C-alpha cells in the first residue's frame, strides 16, 4: 500500500472516530477482507468503546480473528449476506467471547470455533451457525444467554454448556453431531422451547444433561434422537420438568435419573425404542419421578410411584 493510500485510510478512520465521539450511538460497517476504514471487528470494537449508547457493528465478508467483547453495553453485531468469523488462535481462544458485558447481541453469523458468554454478561444469539469448535461449542458461565434459532454442530466437545449458575433459554435450537448435546452443570438452569422445531440428535454422548444441582425445563415438541449415550440424563441432586417429547433410538436410556434427582413428566410423550432396553431408568440412589404412568407412549420403565 502506498503512503498516500495509507494516509487516506488513517484519516478516514480518524474522521469516523471523531464523528462518532459526539453521537449517542453509532452504526459501523466492517468489511473483512475488503477495503475501507474498518476491516476487522476488533478495530470496530475499539471505536465503539468510546461511544455511549446502543451501538451496532454490521459485518460483511469472511473475518479471521478472535473477538473479545469486554465491559461493553448494548452492542449488536449483525452479519450481512452470511458473514463469518473464524478462529485465528488455533483453538486456544474463543472465536467470540463476551465478559463483563450486558445486552450483547450476535445475529446471523457462521461462527467457526468456540463461543463464550462469561462473568455477568447477558448475551443474545440469533440464527447463528456455531460449528467446528475443538472443544465445547457455546459456553455460558456465571451469565445469562438466549439462543433463538440456529444450529450448533460438529464440535468436538459438548454443543452447549450452561455452568456455574448461568441461566440459558433456547428457542428452536438444533444441536447435532457434537461430542455431546447440551449440559447444565454446577447450578446451571437451562430452558428448552420450540415454535418451529428444536432437536438434539446424533451426538456422541448424551443428548441433554442436568448435573450437579442443575435445573432443566423442556417444553413440548422437542426431539432427542440418535445420541450415542442417554437421551436425557439427570443426576447429582438435579431436577427436570419435561413436556411432551420424542425421545427415541438413543444408545443408552431414553431418560436416566439417579443420585437424588427428580423428574416431573407433565405431558404425554413418545419415549420408546431406546437401546438400553429401559426407556426411563430410575437408577440408584433415591431417584424419583411423577407422571410416568400413561405418559411414555408404551415405553418400558422400572420407576415406582406411589
pLDDT tens by residue, 149-206: 999 999 999 999 999 999 999 999 999 999 999 999 999 999 999 999 999 999 999 9
Please report, rounded to a whole number, the percentage of residues in the chain having pLDDT higher than 90: 83
Give residue-wise pLDDT tens across range 207-220: 999 999 999 999 99
- Mean pLDDT calculated for residue range 26-40: 94
Q: How confident is the model at residue 18 (pLDDT cuts 50, 70, 90)?
A: very low
pLDDT at 304: 83
- Mean pLDDT calculated for residue range 82-107: 97
Structural domain includes residue 113? yes
300 CB-contact burial (10 Å; exposed 0-12 / middle 13-18 / buried 19+)? middle
pLDDT at 12 over 70: no
Strands 262-265 and 67-70: unpaired
Beta strands in 33-100 (DSSP E): 55-64, 67-70, 73-86, 96-99
pLDDT at 295: 87
Q: How confident is the model at residue 250 (pLDDT cuts 50, 70, 90)?
A: very high
Structural domain includes residue 238? yes
Give the list of residues 6+ apart from residue 273 with CB closer than 8 angstroms, or none.
Answer: 248, 249, 279, 299
Within 13 Å of residue 85, how many CA atoms lie on the same side as its CB? 32
For residue 116, give its domain range.
Answer: 55-290
Q: Among 237, 238, 225, which Cα is nearest to 279's?
A: 225
pLDDT at 172: 98
Secondary structure of 212-236 as H, E, C letters: CCCEEEECCCEEEECCCCCCEEECC
pLDDT at 80 over 50: yes
The CA distance from 190 to 210, in Å, is: 8
Q: How confident is the model at residue 285 (pLDDT cuts 50, 70, 90)?
A: confident
pLDDT at 290 over 90: no
pLDDT at 22: 46
Q: How confident is the model at residue 144 (pLDDT cuts 50, 70, 90)?
A: very high
pLDDT at 3: 38
The number of beta carbons lying within 10 Å of the beta carbon of residue 143 is 27
Domain CATH for 225: 2.160.20.10
pTM for the whole structure: 0.88
pLDDT at 23: 52
258 CB-contact burial (10 Å; exposed 0-12 / middle 13-18 / buried 19+)? middle
pLDDT at 288: 79
pLDDT at 5: 44
Q: How confident is the model at residue 264 (pLDDT cuts 50, 70, 90)?
A: very high
Look up residue 200 and give its three cell numbers. Answer: 438434539
Give residue-wise pLDDT tens across range 230-245: 999 999 999 999 999 9
Structural domain includes residue 306? no
The CA distance from 139 to 133, in Å, is: 11
Q: Which residue has the cell 493510500?
A: 5
Look up residue 301 and give its three cell numbers. Answer: 420403565
Is there a contact between 265 and 295 (Cβ–Cβ < 8 Å)?
yes
Structural domain includes residue 60? yes
Structural domain includes residue 265? yes
Q: How confident is the model at residue 131 (pLDDT cuts 50, 70, 90)?
A: very high
Q: Among 24, 121, 145, 28, which Cα is nearest to 68's?
A: 121
pLDDT at 45 over 70: yes
Q: Among 165, 168, 100, 108, which Cα is nearest to 138's?
A: 168
- Mean pLDDT calculated for residue range 39-66: 96
Structural domain includes residue 171? yes
**Cis bond leading into 285, ω under 30°?**
yes
Q: How confident is the model at residue 24 (pLDDT cuts 50, 70, 90)?
A: low
Q: How many domains does the chain have?
A: 1
Structural domain includes residue 215? yes
As a whole number of Å, the CA-based R_g of the chain is: 22
The helix (H) or strand (E) run that includes residue 76 is: strand 73-86
Structural domain includes residue 15? no
pLDDT at 293: 78
Q: Kindly list the distances between the CA atom of residue 138 and the CA atoms of 89, 189, 214, 234, in Å, as whole numbers in the listed order.
A: 17, 15, 18, 20
Amino acid at each position: 500500500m502506498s503512503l498516500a493510500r495509507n494516509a487516506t485510510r488513517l484519516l478516514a478512520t480518524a474522521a469516523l472516530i471523531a464523528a462518532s465521539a459526539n453521537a449517542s450511538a453509532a452504526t459501523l460497517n466492517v468489511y473483512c477482507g475488503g477495503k475501507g476504514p474498518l476491516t476487522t471487528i476488533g478495530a470496530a470494537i475499539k471505536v465503539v468503546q468510546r461511544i455511549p449508547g446502543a451501538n451496532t457493528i454490521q459485518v460483511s465478508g469472511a473475518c479471521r480473528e478472535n473477538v473479545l467483547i469486554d465491559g461493553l453495553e448494548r452492542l449488536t453485531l449483525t452479519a450481512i449476506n452470511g458473514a463469518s468469523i473464524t478462529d485465528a488462535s488455533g483453538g486456544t481462544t474463543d472465536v467470540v467471547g463476551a465478559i463483563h458485558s450486558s445486552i450483547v447481541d450476535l445475529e446471523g453469523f457462521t461462527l467457526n470455533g468456540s463461543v463464550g458468554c462469561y462473568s455477568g454478561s447477558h448475551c443474545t444469539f440469533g440464527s447463528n451457525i456455531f460449528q467446528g469448535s475443538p472443544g465445547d461449542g457455546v459456553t455460558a458461565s456465571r451469565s445469562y444467554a438466549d439462543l433463538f434459532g440456529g444450529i450448533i454442530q460438529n464440535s468436538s466437545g459438548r454443543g452447549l454448556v450452561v455452568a456455574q449458575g448461568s441461566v440459558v433459554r433456547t428457542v428452536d435450537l438444533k444441536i447435532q453431531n457434537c461430542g455431546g448435546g447440551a449440559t447444565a452443570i454446577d447450578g446451571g438452569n437451562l430452558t428448552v422451547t420450540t415454535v418451529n422445531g428444536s432437536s438434539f440428535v446424533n451426538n456422541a454422548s448424551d443428548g441433554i444433561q442436568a448435573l450437579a444441582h442443575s435445573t432443566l425445563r423442556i417444553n413440548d415438541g422437542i426431539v432427542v434422537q440418535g445420541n450415542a449415550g442417554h437421551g436425557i440424563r439427570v443426576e447429582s441432586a438435579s431436577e427436570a420438568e419435561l413436556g411432551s417429547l420424542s425421545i427415541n433410538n438413543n444408545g443408552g436410556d431414553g431418560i436416566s435419573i439417579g443420585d437424588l434427582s427428580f423428574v416431573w413428566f407433565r405431558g404425554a410423550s413418545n419415549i420408546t425404542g431406546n437401546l438400553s432396553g429401559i426407556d426411563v431408568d430410575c437408577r440408584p440412589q433415591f431417584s424419583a419421578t411423577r407422571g410416568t404412568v400413561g405418559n411414555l407412549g408404551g415405553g418400558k420403565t422400572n420407576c415406582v410411584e406411589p
